[in-house]
């Protein structure tokens, strides 16, 4: 219409009244019909880069708190708190497997967009789509659309937890202050990374945001495909706790590969942290004896640099290194922590697996082949959450609690049931051609399906992790080349006030989310625990009800592995057979672990 007006202006030095009226009428008609045309696809706003859509200022300098208004009441995030957490303007942050870039604008300038149906330009291919969001009010969400280059589209639902009252368990970062025109006050505020499915194998063109009052978007990104890599080892973060303090020390962590490959890389995570942690140097080696390496440790780099800083809540992948990792082999991952470290995220239970560390002031000993400098022992895995190998067939994730984590199995023997499953898959590959999948142990001692044993913030209390539902994204869906998940949880829920119906609903929600992301989902029945001090009659009734639902899955999941039937005593079905009992009537021994593995049908994993 503007083109027609321009052409008319060229033809007429003076516009006739009728021509003006006709032109204005045509413009009005076009504007009136714009919504209908947009709905029909005839008129569509051009997608713009996210930064060009910013229409709200959420971050203020502490000296000028009135320069931002995130929530409509003058509240804002502190630029100084963000800097202290390592969230500096323009910094790339890896969150749940997706690299997102914090807005380049500083405090007092627009840094986010309020979701109102805007199309955002986003091109490329990914396995999922992650948004960095927060809600200014109660949790808010809505439906959006992803458009692909081939002309197709898919829908998604995005919900942003409230920046002040949203759950700590799933936040990306928590900050200690809220800025307001009246000054700064002590109140925790949070940002969240929320991931939604994409249509597999398609190139995205743009993302249409929901229309959701109070939903603010700071960044978005595609989770890059992990083809060419297989997860070989993992340990989920179970909490954030005080350490030492450690001063100028090197950690030497012992981990066990499930499958092998010609190259390797590691994953570090600063989950639940409130401040950055610096890695001065890192190496990887095959284990010799104890803390001694079999050969010279290979130096690891991070974006080409020997050192890196993990921002609060963020992850970091090392660059690949040409170390051939055999399957079923112990590795030494050494991390040098310069300065003083008082708090770290860690996996709190390692089934008696000893790792090592130097004394205070020991300096950088990551390159040592000998064990002499490593005079201390560790029974946790701080910071390190994954080891990948090049090639392979992908991985299966075992999502569980202390039984999956291997409590009561023989220390340092790597006979947890996921370890035994990895060995069985290698045998099946040789005999029957079943793919040799990596097996990732995502068990946390004390973990529950429904409740957060670790609250998600702070250093006190339990180290039993946030709930299986709250950690599903990080510990399962974002794992390297995950193809399937075995869910074996619930025994800790039934021994609390949690109802069977709540556990069943939680398991179904986990299965639905994993299916939406293309994973095969297998449920394992809850094993008997009669004789343990709080496995009461009420707990047994809940266990039986949950197991009935698991066995009658009716398409809610792809298969059932009956771990209950594998070890229960036929004469006393609320208990495991004595020959499988690890001694406390709750945790199986090595023989019980083998029976779980025998209950697995490897063909159901692919």
pLDDT tens per residue, range 182-191: 999 999 999 9
* Confidence grade of residue 447 (pLDDT, cut at 50, 70, 90): very high
pLDDT recorded at residue 139: 82
- Residue 241: per-residue pLDDT: 96
pLDDT at residue 38 greater than cutoff 80: no
Res 331: pLDDT: 98
Q: What is the largest CA-CA distance in the chain?
A: 103
Domains and CATH numbers, the chain: 50-223 (no CATH), 230-391 (2.60.120), 393-606 (3.40.50.1110)
pLDDT at 506: 98
Is residue 520 over pLDDT 70?
A: yes
> Helix, strand or coil for residue 451?
coil
At 39 the pLDDT is 40
The Cβ-side half-sphere exposure at 139, using a 13 Å CA radius, reads: 11
What is the C-alpha separation between 115 and 182, in angstroms, rounded? 28
Mean pLDDT calculated for residue range 35-50: 65
330-347/381-382 β-pairing? antiparallel
Question: Which of the pair, 185 or 28, is modelled with greater confidence?
Answer: 185
Whether the per-residue pLDDT at 79 is higher than 50: the answer is yes
pLDDT of residue 193: 98
Question: What value does the mean pLDDT take over residues 401-409?
Answer: 96
- Percent of the chain at pLDDT > 90 equals 89
For residue 269, pLDDT beyond 70: yes
**Tens-place pLDDT, residues 120-151:** 999 999 999 999 999 998 889 999 999 999 99
Length of the chain: 606
Task: State both tokens at 312.
Answer: 């609060």
pLDDT band at 494 (very low <50, low <70, confident <90, very high): very high
pLDDT of residue 43: 64
**Residue burial 517-555, b: 16+ Cβ < 10 Å; e: rest:** bebbbbbbbbbbbbebeebeeebbebbbbbbebbeebee
- Contact indicator for 194, 144 with CB cutoff of 8 Å: no
99: left (phi over 0), alpha (psi -120 to 50) or beta: beta
Say how far apart CA 445 and CA 491 lie, in whole Å: 11
pLDDT value, residue 387 = 98
Tokens standing for residue 487? 């869910």
At 94, list the tokens: 């890896």
Token duo for residue 493? 């829920």
Closest CA to 566 of 413, 427, 417: 417
Range 309-324 average pLDDT: 98
DSSP characters over 173-241:
EEEEEEEETTEEEEEEEEEEEEEEE--TT--EEEEEPPEEEEEEEEEEEEEPP-TTEEEEEE----EEE
What mean pLDDT is reported for the chain? 92
Query: What average pLDDT does this structure show over 52-65?
Result: 97
| Dihedral sign for Cα atoms in the order 270, 62, 179, 69 | negative
pLDDT tens digits, 13-22? 333 333 333 3
Q: How would residue 460 be classed by pLDDT, with cut points 50, 70 and 90?
A: confident
Looking at residue 57, its pLDDT comes to 98
Residue 431, φ and ψ in degrees, nearest 5:
-90, -45
* Cβ(12)–Cβ(19) below 8 Å: yes
Mean pLDDT of 570-590: 98
Instruction: Say if residue 547's pLDDT is above 60.
Output: yes
pLDDT of residue 23 exceeding 90, the answer is no
Q: Model confidence at 373, in pLDDT bands (50, 70, 90)?
A: very high
- Decide: 386 and 408 in contact? Cβ < 8 Å: no
Question: pLDDT tens, 322-365?
Answer: 999 999 999 999 999 999 999 999 999 766 799 999 999 999 99
């Amino acid at each position: 219409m503007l083109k027609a007006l321009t052409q008319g202006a060229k033809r007429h030095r003076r516009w006739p009244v009728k021509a003006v009226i006709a032109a204005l009428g045509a413009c009005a008609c076009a504007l009136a019909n714009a919504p209908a045309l947009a709905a029909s696809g005839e008129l569509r706003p051009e997608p713009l880069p996210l930064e060009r859509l910013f229409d709200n200022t959420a971050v203020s300098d502490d000296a000028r708190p009135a320069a931002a208004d995130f929530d409509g009441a003058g509240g804002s995030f502190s630029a100084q708190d963000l800097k202290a957490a390592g969230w500096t303007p323009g910094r790339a942050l890896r969150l749940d497997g997706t690299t997102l870039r914090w807005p380049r604008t500083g405090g007092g300038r627009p840094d986010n967009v309020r979701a109102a149906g805007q199309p955002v330009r986003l091109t490329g291919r990914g396995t999922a789509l992650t948004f960095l969001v927060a809600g200014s009010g109660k949790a808010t969400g809505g439906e959006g659309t992803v458009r692909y280059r081939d002309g197709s589209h898919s829908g998604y639902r995005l919900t942003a937890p409230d920046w002040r009252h949203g759950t700590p368990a799933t936040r990306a970062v928590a900050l200690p202050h809220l800025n307001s025109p009246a000054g700064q006050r002590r109140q925790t505020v949070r940002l969240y990374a929320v991931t939604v499915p994409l249509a597999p194998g398609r190139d995205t063109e743009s993302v249409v945001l929901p229309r959701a009052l109070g939903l603010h978007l700071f960044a978005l990104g595609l989770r890059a495909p992990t083809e060419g890599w297989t997860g070989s080892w993992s340990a989920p973060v179970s909490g954030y706790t005080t350490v030492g303090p450690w001063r100028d020390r090197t950690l030497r962590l012992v981990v066990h590969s499930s499958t092998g490959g010609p190259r390797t890389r590691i994953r570090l995570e600063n989950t639940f942290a409130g401040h950055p942690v610096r890695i001065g140097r890192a190496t990887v080696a095959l284990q010799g004896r104890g803390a001694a390496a079999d050969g010279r440790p290979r130096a690891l780099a991070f974006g080409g640099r020997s050192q890196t800083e993990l921002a609060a809540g963020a992850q970091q992948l090392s660059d690949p290194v040409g170390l051939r990792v055999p399957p079923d082999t112990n590795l030494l991952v050494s991390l040098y922590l310069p300065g003083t470290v008082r708090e770290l995220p860690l996996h709190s239970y390692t089934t008696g697996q000893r790792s090592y560390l130097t004394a205070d002031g020991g300096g950088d000993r990551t390159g040592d082949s000998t064990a002499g400098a490593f005079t201390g022992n560790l029974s946790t895995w701080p910071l390190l959450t994954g080891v990948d190998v090049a090639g392979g067939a992908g991985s299966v994730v075992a999502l569980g609690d202390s039984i999956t984590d291997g409590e009561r199995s023989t220390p340092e023997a790597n006979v947890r049931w996921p370890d035994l499953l990895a060995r069985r898959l290698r045998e099946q590959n040789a005999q029957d051609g079943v793919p040799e999948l990596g097996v990732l142990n995502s068990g946390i001692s004390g973990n529950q399906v429904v409740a957060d044993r670790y609250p998600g913030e702070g250093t006190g209390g339990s180290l039993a992790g946030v709930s299986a539902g709250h950690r599903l994204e990080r510990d399962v869906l974002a794992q390297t080349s995950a193809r399937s998940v075995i869910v074996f949880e619930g025994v800790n829920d039934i021994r609390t006030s949690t109802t069977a119906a709540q556990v069943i609903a939680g398991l179904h929600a986990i299965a639905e989310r994993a299916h939406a992301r293309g994973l095969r989902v297998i449920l394992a029945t809850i094993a008997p625990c009669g004789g343990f001090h709080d496995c009461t009659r009420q707990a047994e009734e809940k266990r039986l009800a949950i197991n009935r639902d698991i066995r009658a899955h009716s398409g809610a999941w792809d298969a059932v592995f009956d771990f209950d039937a594998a070890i229960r005593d036929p004469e006393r079905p609320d208990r495991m057979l004595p020959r499988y009992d690890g001694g406390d009537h709750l945790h199986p021994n090595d023989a019980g672990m083998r029976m779980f593995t025998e209950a697995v049908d490897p063909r159901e994993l692919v």
